[in-house]
């Protein structure tokens, strides 16, 4: 492939992925009724401040949990590390609305925690004591932080592991304490990856619907839903979405501007023998309690409670179609993860080959879908796909053959496309932060040896950034396993994913019955996780 | 340049998509969960041999239908909540059905004049009261929940949930906008906690002593009573049907309509008529403890035990037309915040 071909294909891909967003922006620009003005005058300011605080708290939590855990796993020797390093990714496999439900059950008035407290202190009613309400902004931030911090952990750990140990060793030889060396060397080097992780967390929080709805925290996303369903105004809903998109673009570009002048390339890709810090005594125990505590709160506890519900309602919940739904989810998620990685590589490499700033644009464009709530995105997906379907059917009419009907909209294509638009950003971000660490001199050398760009990519870059590719693929996979709103709206007949199956019960306030399929989501999500971790270990 | 191979492949593709039309089938877009309608549909398939395919679409059924236009595979729409139904009807996504069976089975109040929709079940917006602290309140009204004497004693789910929107819309239809706004403000001032959770959570909140009164749909009470795990919670409250002395209790509906571009019209109408039969009405209503619309069909034994009540007789179309204003009022008084 020639360079122009790379550039062209990256633009084509980016435009394809932005079609749904274009459709929404077009919708937003149409003249509006006074719904939007009315919203400004009443509830929108509160929604905006709620959204701001929620995103901020979740980011802070994810940073404080994810970065130390990543550094401990990448740089230190701890007992049980073999288990811990992948156990810390487990919370990702938990759909957040399930975790929200579990903690509500645990911490509300009639739950075991408050019940025990009442029993100990002899309190009788609600008015006798104060207990923080789980159904609140703080509660939502906590739950989201618990399930989202692994993004930061995963990307930061990959970055720490890819760092050349010689840099850390040099800093130690030059008299840095481990803490100084972390602050001055490891952290700045890992910054791009951490920022990608945090921006994933922020966007995920921004587009989050299940948990905030469950906790009655009104955010911009719930406003989008209300506006669309309550006021019946897709136009005003699209306007709110467009504002959210603008905010996301602004945040991302600000961050990039600030990072512009820092470019660090590594001459070695962390392949030298790794000697970590060996922790002992108090440090060891604090580190262990910290890491295992995160695993317990984000995964083990909800999982055990799910198992308890699943066992209690097993007879009602067990049905033979699990296998089919699991297969649906698995196929769909693997397919999208694969395509997303190809897209990410094309976009990442084409930017690298030209090295011009404007070739960043396709990457940014293709990442926009992530900040959109699933339902709104689904409508955006319907617009171009139905147009395409109509074009095909009109052509069939014109040719005088039978109309084929909805070839794209009524099939898995629609869901897969929707997922690609929504989660492509994760693969793009992950591949990008790994590619950024490959020195351009490698490209020059390879090209002077007469390799074509595509051969160079396959022979040089892909092996070097294998971890980043795998991490990106895994993130996309797990997200697709859990994704709900878009799947609900784009589903063909008689088609269920595990998530839509769980949701049938959730939406009817029968979460207990959804426990069993929820467990299956988690278990199916674990398969690639273990696989990924194996390959990371072998590479190390 | 189209090659022979390409053309034959296209022809095959077309054939594969159209070849499925030999077996009689009905495609349903549904607001209702599969497990609620599955027993009825299985019975229908057994009796007629017609296959039924269902897609459960919680939100956005109308949007999807609108985008699919004339190519939509949907034949039948099963909806809950009258304003969501009207949304689809007003967008001209349904078509008129003429059927003696449907007209005889379903009372005029519960169907469209032109046959563009037919209600199948009704559910009452009840007020639950604490058994220990309040007792049964046969004389309770929606209006009095806004009375300051109930300060800190009332619970409800989000004001924007379709069931609460419909109730607010019926208040607008009865009392006008200004009164309803004041009523919403009074109700908000009486709330024991921020609107949260679903209707069952309100019953749970009464049991926990968070509040003494709560708004909720009748069927949730039935579902909880018939679940061993939740029965104890449900037994802490009484179900009361408000406004029995005046206009009657506000009811909402679940309904069926024939999609405008239905490809399997005959089979779809057969299914509609089946849904209005005594057998299906009883099954459909008891699956979720709702009230069948058909005269003479019994609800489930449990529901029957709550006694008869007078339902608000106003046409549901009048309620639906105030839905947007109702949402606006809920926002204006910041009911959920």
* Contact (Cβ atoms closer than 8 angstroms) between residue A480 and residue A337: yes
Nearest beta carbon to residue A494 from set B18, B53, B165: B53
DSSP letter for A298, please.
I
* Chain B residue with Cα closest to A505: B33
CB B136 within 8 A of CB B238: yes
Supply the pLDDT for residue B16. Answer: 44
- How distant is the alpha carbon of residue B93 from its chain centre? 19
Token pair listed for B240: 């009361």
Burial class (CB within 10 angstroms; exposed 0-12, middle 13-18, buried 19+) of A91: buried
Query: pLDDT tens for residues A215-262?
Result: 888 898 888 877 877 787 778 888 888 888 787 777 677 666 666 655
**Closest residue on chain A to B90 (Cα):** A232
Is A330's Cβ below 8 Å from some Cβ in B?
A: no
Q: Do A409 and B199 touch (CB under 8 A)?
A: no
Q: What is the pLDDT at residue A265?
A: 58
- Bridge partners, residue B254, by sequence: B80, B121
Confirm if A433 and A468 have CB atoms less than 8 A apart: yes
Evaluate if residue A270 carries a pLDDT over 70: no
* B313 CB-contact burial (10 Å; exposed 0-12 / middle 13-18 / buried 19+): exposed
For residue B100, the distance in angstroms to the closest alpha carbon of chain A comes to 30
Mean pLDDT of B123-148: 94
* Contacting A residues, span 67-106, partner chain B, CB-CB under 8 Å: none
Residue in B34, B53, B200 closest to A509 by CB: B200
Q: State whether B87 and A232 contact (CB < 8 Å).
A: yes
The string of pLDDT tens digits covering residues B49-65 is: 999 998 888 777 888 88
Residue B217 pLDDT grade (very low, low, confident, very high; cuts 50, 70, 90): very high
Write out pLDDT tens, residues A388-437.
Answer: 888 888 888 888 888 787 888 878 889 999 999 999 888 888 888 788 87
A108, A379, A508: residue with CB nearest B63? A379
> Mean pLDDT lowest for which of A54-58, A128-132, A260-264, A297-301?
A260-264
Question: At how many degrees (to 10) do helices B34-48 and B278-287 cross?
Answer: 160
Q: How far apart are CA A44 and CA A28, in angstroms?
A: 17
Q: Residue B102: is its pLDDT beyond 80?
A: yes
User: pTM of the entire structure?
Assistant: 0.83
Extended strands (E) in B115-249: 118-130, 154-155, 213-217, 237-240
Q: What is the pLDDT of residue B13?
A: 46
| Residue B17 pLDDT grade (very low, low, confident, very high; cuts 50, 70, 90) | very low
| CA atoms of A429 and A249, how far apart (whole Å) | 14
For the segment B238-258, what is each residue's pLDDT rounded down to a tens digit? 999 999 999 999 999 999 999
CB contact under 8 A, B71 and A46: no
CA–CA dist A287, A289 (Å, integer): 6
pLDDT band per the 50, 70, 90 thresholds, residue B1: very low
Q: Which residue has the tokens 């159209």?
A: B18
**Chain A residues touching B331 at Cβ < 8 A:** 38-39, 42-43
Yes or no, beta carbons of A230 and B327 under 8 Å apart: yes
The mean pLDDT of B206-220, rounded to a whole number, is: 93
Least Cα separation, residue B97 to chain A (angstroms): 24
% of chain B at pLDDT higher than 70: 93
Average pLDDT over chain A reads: 82
- A309: which chain B residues are within 8 Å (Cβ-Cβ)? none
Q: A257: exposed, middle or buried (C-beta count within 10 Å: 0-12, 13-18, 19+)?
A: exposed
B25, B67, B332: which to substitute to probe chain A, counting the most A Cβ within 10 Å?
A: B67
Note whether B33 contacts A125, CB cutoff 8 Å: no
Nearest residue of A to residue B17 by CA position? A404
Range in A335-344, A451-460, A461-470, B6-15 with the lowest mean pLDDT:
B6-15
A85-119, pLDDT tens digit by residue? 888 988 988 888 888 888 887 887 777 888 888 88
pLDDT of residue B190: 95
H helix runs in A260-321, sequence order: 281-295, 301-312, 314-317
DSSP A467-509: HHHHHHHHHHHHHHHH--HHHHHH--TT---HHHHHHHHHTTT
Taking only the tens place, the pLDDT of each residue in A324-341 is 888 888 899 999 999 999
Instruction: Enter the DSSP assignment of A273.
Output: P
List the single residue in B with minimal CA-CA distance to A217.
Answer: B337
CA distance A237 to chain B (A): 13
Percent of chain A with pLDDT over 90: 13
């Amino acid at each position: 492939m020639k360079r122009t071909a790379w550039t062209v294909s990256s633009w084509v891909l980016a435009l394809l992925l932005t079609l749904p967003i274009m459709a929404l922006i077009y919708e937003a620009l149409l003249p509006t009724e006074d719904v939007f003005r009315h919203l400004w005058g009443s509830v929108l300011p509160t929604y905006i401040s709620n959204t701001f605080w929620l995103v901020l708290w979740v980011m802070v939590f994810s940073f404080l949990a994810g970065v130390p855990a990543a550094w401990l796993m990448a740089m230190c020797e701890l007992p049980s590390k073999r288990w811990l390093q992948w156990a810390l990714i487990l919370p990702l496999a938990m759909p957040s609305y399930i975790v929200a439900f579990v903690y509500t059950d645990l911490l509300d008035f009639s739950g075991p925690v408050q019940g025990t407290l009442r029993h100990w202190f002899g309190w009788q009613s609600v008015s006798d004591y104060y207990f923080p309400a789980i159904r609140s902004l703080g509660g939502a931030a906590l739950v989201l932080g618990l399930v989202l911090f692994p993004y930061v952990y995963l990307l930061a750990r990959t970055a720490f592991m890819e760092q050349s140990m010689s840099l850390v060793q040099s800093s130690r030889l030059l008299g840095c304490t481990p803490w100084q060396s972390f602050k001055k060397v490891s952290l700045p080097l890992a910054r791009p990856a951490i920022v990608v992780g945090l921006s994933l967390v922020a966007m995920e929080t921004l587009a989050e619907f299940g948990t905030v709805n469950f906790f009655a925290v009104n955010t911009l996303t719930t406003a989008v839903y209300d506006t669309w369903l309550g006021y019946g105004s897709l136009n005003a809903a699209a306007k709110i979405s467009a504002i959210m998109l603008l905010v996301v673009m602004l945040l991302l570009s600000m961050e990039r501007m600030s990072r512009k002048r820092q470019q660090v390339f590594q001459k070695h890709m962390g392949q030298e023998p790794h000697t970590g810090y060996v922790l002992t005594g108090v440090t060891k125990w604090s580190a262990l309690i910290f890491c295992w505590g995160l695993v317990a709160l984000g995964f083990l506890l909800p999982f055990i409670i799910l198992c308890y519900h699943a066992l209690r309602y097993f007879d009602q919940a067990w049905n033979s179609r699990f296998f089919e739904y699991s297969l649906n989810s698995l196929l769909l998620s693997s397919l999208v993860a694969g395509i997303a990685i190809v897209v990410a590589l094309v976009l990442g490499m084409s930017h690298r080959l030209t090295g011009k700033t404007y070739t960043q644009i396709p990457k940014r464009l293709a990442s926009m879908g992530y900040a959109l709530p699933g339902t709104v995105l689904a409508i955006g997906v319907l617009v171009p796909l139905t147009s395409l379907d109509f074009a095909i059917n009109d052509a069939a009419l014109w040719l005088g053959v039978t109309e084929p009907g909805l070839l794209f909209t009524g099939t898995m294509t629609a869901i897969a496309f929707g997922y690609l638009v929504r989660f492509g950003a994760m693969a793009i971000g992950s591949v990008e932060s790994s590619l950024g660490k490959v020195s351009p001199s490698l490209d020059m050398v390879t090209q002077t040896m007469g390799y074509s760009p595509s051969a160079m990519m396959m022979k040089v870059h892909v092996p070097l950034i294998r971890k980043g590719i795998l991490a990106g693929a895994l993130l996309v996979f797990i997200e697709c396993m859990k994704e709900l709103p878009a799947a609900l709206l784009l589903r063909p007949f008689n088609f269920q994913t595990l998530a839509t199956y769980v949701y049938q019960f959730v939406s009817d306030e029968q979460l207990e019955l959804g426990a069993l399929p929820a467990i299956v989501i988690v278990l199916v999500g674990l398969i690639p996780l273990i696989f990924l971790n194996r390959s990371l270990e072998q590479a190390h | 340049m189209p090659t022979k191979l390409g053309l034959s492949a296209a022809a095959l593709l077309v054939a594969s998509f159209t070849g499925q039309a030999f077996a009689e089938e009905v495609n349903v877009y549904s607001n209702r969960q599969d497990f609620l309608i599955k027993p009825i549909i299985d019975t229908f398939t057994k009796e007629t041999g017609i296959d039924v395919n269902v897609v459960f679409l919680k939100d956005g059924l109308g949007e999807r239908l609108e985008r699919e236009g004339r190519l939509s595979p949907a034949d039948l729409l099963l909806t809950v909540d009258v304003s969501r139904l009207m949304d689809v009807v007003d967008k001209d996504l349904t078509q008129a059905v003429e059927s003696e069976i449907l007209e005889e089975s379903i009372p005029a109040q519960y169907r469209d004049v032109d046959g563009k929709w037919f209600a199948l079940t009704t559910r009452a917006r009840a007020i639950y009261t604490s058994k220990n602290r309040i007792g049964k309140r046969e004389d309770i009204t929606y209006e009095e929940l806004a009375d300051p004497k109930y300060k800190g004693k009332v619970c409800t789910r989000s004001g924007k949930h379709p069931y609460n929107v419909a109730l607010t819309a019926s208040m607008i239809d009865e009392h006008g906008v200004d009164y309803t706004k004041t009523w919403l403000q009074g109700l908000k001032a009486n709330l024991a906690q921020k609107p949260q959770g679903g209707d069952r959570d309100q019953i749970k909140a009464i049991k926990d002593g968070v509040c003494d009164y709560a708004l909720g749909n009748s069927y949730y009470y039935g579902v909880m009573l018939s679940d061993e795990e939740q029965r104890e919670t449900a037994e802490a409250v009484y179900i009361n049907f408000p406004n029995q002395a005046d206009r009657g209790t506000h009811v909402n509906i679940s309904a069926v309509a024939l999609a405008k571009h239905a490809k399997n019209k005959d089979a779809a109408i057969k299914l509609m008529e089946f849904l209005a039969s005594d057998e299906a009405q009883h099954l459909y209503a008891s699956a979720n403890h709702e009230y069948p619309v058909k005269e003479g069909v019994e609800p489930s034994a449990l529901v029957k035990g709550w006694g008869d009540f007078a339902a608000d007789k106003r046409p549901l179309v009048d309620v639906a037309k105030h839905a947007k204003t109702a949402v606006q009022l809920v926002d204006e008084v910041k009911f959920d915040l």
